[in-house]
Amino acid sequence: MSTLLPFLALEKTCDQALSWVNQELNSADFRVVQTFDLKVARLAHPECTCPHHGKAECNCQMIVLLVYRKEEDPATLIIHGQENRSWVSMAAPVDRRTNQQLEIAIRRVLTSPLTNVPSPAEATYEARSTV
C-alpha cells in the first residue's frame, strides 16, 4: 500500500501541470517517463463513473510519471487534476521510502520557482510585525 500526500497544488489543468513538470524536471537534468494516463485508461471502460462527479463524463485526470536521475532507481510522481487545479504527489510504499535524496531533489526543483511568492501564512505573519 502507498499513500499520496500532495506537496504542491497548482492552478493549472492536469495537462498544463504535466507540461510544466516535464519542463522543470528536464531542465534540471532529470529524465521523465509517463507510465499511466487515466483518460486513456478510461477509454476501455466507458461505463465507469467518476468517484468525484458520479458520472461518466468528467475532467478528472491522473498521470503517473517515473522520474530518473543518473543511474538511480526512479521516483514515482503522481499528478492528479480536477477542474483547473492539479496536485503533485510522490508515491512510495508506506513502510519505506526508496530514494529520499531523489525525492528531495525533485521537490526542490518543482517548488523552487514558486518560493518567491509568500504563502498566506507568511504574509499574515509579516503583516503582524511587532516593531
pLDDT tens-place string over residues 72-100 = 889 999 999 998 999 999 987 655 666 88
**Do 12 and 84 touch, CB atoms closer than 8 A?**
yes
Residues of the chain with pLDDT under 50: 1, 116-131
**CATH class given for the domain over 2-127:** alpha beta
Q: What is the pLDDT of residue 98?
A: 64
**Do 74 and 8 touch, CB atoms closer than 8 A?**
no
Q: What is the pLDDT of residue 94?
A: 58
